């Protein structure tokens, strides 16, 4: 099948996604952000084949994940989506069928999350497929990492550890020889849940307005709960006490940890959760819980902010340490 030119590629695959008037059908070199009240919040993440996703992951899910990890950042700032820009670096072996599936996956998420495509750029790259998403959101009050205060309660949405364990499960799908014993001990439903959570993160966009109303500090959990909590406490100049036993786990992650207790460390440090970690004044907790319940977002209290400047973890009343087991980009 003949590949389209860059202009034809944009017109065929991406112009139909540019539904905002400010995008002008992707016929210009710039766009106008849709109007709205509050702060304009901007975030950007990149994704590279072989680094952030497997080269043979379904293209529609690659597109969805590239968008969703950015929407997770916006939600943690209390911002709802307003639009996005896409940078697409296509490797030499790209195909029309692959790009068609990619565009369809992106279109479904743009519609589901109300985040229109405003523009971007497409290039050929000598290396692997490279994606760059810049997402814009609106927040009536932007919530930073640095606002936590001693006495605030630490909360987290959803479940923790599925993405990290799901990475292992996805690798085992591609190469069964890599499957560890704990994975083989899980039922098919649990294995499928972990893979799906790795491939399809669930950004907590529905909770964004509640974060803006109630949180004193917040960030999305992308690099592991342990490391991200340390970052938030460092930014706030505070410490924390956390009971690892209160960190919410899915049935699949709990089953894996029951088989191999050492996996708790991987779950807490491994990343790819895309949940929201937030600090909330005790007087605001019941309202936050009510708002979370109203949009069906699970929320758990896992600890308390302290003034000590250090973060301490415990499990069953005993200290829990992690050494250097935190995800770092470099």
- Is-above-0.95 flag for pTM? no
* pLDDT reported for residue 27: 67
Residue 104 pLDDT greater than 90, yes or no? yes
The candidate with the shortest Cα–Cα distance to 204, out of 217, 188, 221, 216, is 221
Q: Outline which parts of the chain fall under CATH 3.30.1330.10.
A: 6-139
The candidate with the shortest Cα–Cα distance to 249, out of 154, 161, 156, 157, is 161
% residues pLDDT > 90 (the chain): 82
220 is in an annotated binding site: yes
Class of domain 6-139: alpha beta
Contacts of the segment 321-325: beta carbons below 8 A, 24+ positions apart = 322/226, 322/265, 322/268, 322/269, 325/226, 325/265, 325/269
Strands 80-90, 299-306: pairing is unpaired
Residue 321 pLDDT greater than 60, yes or no? yes
Least confident span in 16-25, 144-153, 158-167, 192-201: 16-25
* pLDDT reported for residue 14: 85
- Give the Cβ contact number of residue 104 at 10 Å: 14
Question: pLDDT tens for residues 277-318?
Answer: 999 999 999 999 999 999 999 999 999 999 988 999 999 999
327 is in an annotated binding site: yes
Confidence category of residue 35, pLDDT binned at 50, 70, 90: confident
Class of domain 145-320: alpha beta
28 is in an annotated binding site: no
Residue 95 pLDDT greater than 80, yes or no? yes
H/E stretch holding 259 reads helix 251-259
Residue 112 pLDDT greater than 50, yes or no? yes
**Strand pairing partners for 131?**
47, 88
73 is in an annotated binding site: yes
- Give the Cβ contact number of residue 41 at 10 Å: 21
Confidence category of residue 329, pLDDT binned at 50, 70, 90: very low
192 is in an annotated binding site: no
* pLDDT reported for residue 31: 64
Residue 102 pLDDT greater than 90, yes or no? yes
121 is in an annotated binding site: yes
Least confident span in 114-118, 137-141, 265-269, 320-324: 320-324
How does DSSP classify residue 126?
S
56 is in an annotated binding site: no
The whole-chain average pLDDT of the chain stands at: 92
Q: Outline which parts of the chain fall under CATH 3.90.650.10.
A: 145-320
- Give the Cβ contact number of residue 136 at 10 Å: 23
């Amino acid at each position: 099948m003949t590949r389209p030119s860059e202009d034809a590629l944009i017109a065929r695959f991406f112009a139909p996604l540019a539904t905002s008037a400010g995008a002008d059908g992707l016929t210009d070199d710039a766009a106008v952000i849709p109007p709205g009240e509050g702060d304009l919040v901007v975030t950007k993440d990149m994704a590279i084949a072989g680094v952030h996703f497997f080269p043979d992951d379904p293209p529609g899910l690659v597109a969805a994940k590239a968008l969703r990890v950015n929407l997770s950042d916006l939600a943690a700032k209390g911002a709802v989506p307003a639009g996005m820009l896409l940078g697409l670096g296509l490797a030499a072996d790209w195909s029309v069928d692959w790009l068609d599936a990619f565009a369809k996956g992106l279109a479904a998420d743009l519609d589901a999350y109300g985040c229109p495509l405003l523009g971007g750029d497409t290039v050929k790259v000598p290396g692997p497929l490279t994606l760059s998403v810049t997402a814009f959101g609106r927040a009536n009050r932007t919530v930073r990492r640095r606002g936590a205060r001693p006495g605030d309660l630490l909360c987290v949405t959803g479940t923790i550890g599925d993405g990290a364990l799901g990475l292992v499960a996805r690798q085992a799908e591609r190469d069964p020889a890599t499957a560890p014993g704990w994975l083989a001990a899980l039922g098919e439903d649990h294995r499928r849940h972990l893979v799906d959570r790795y491939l399809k993160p669930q950004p907590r966009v529905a909770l964004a307005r509640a974060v803006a109303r109630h949180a004193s500090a917040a960030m999305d959990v992308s690099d592991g709960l342990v490391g991200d909590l340390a970052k938030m406490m460092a930014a706030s100049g505070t410490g924390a006490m956390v009971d690892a036993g209160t960190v919410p786990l899915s049935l699949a992650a709990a089953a894996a940890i029951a088989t191999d207790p050492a996996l708790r460390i991987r779950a807490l440090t491994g990343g790819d959760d895309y949940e929201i970690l937030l600090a909330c004044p005790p007087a605001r907790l019941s309202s936050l819980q009510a708002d979370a319940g109203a949009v069906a977002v699970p929320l758990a209290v896992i600890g308390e902010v302290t003034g000590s400047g250090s973060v301490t973890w415990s499990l069953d009343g005993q200290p829990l340490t992690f050494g250097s087991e935190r995800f770092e980009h470099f």
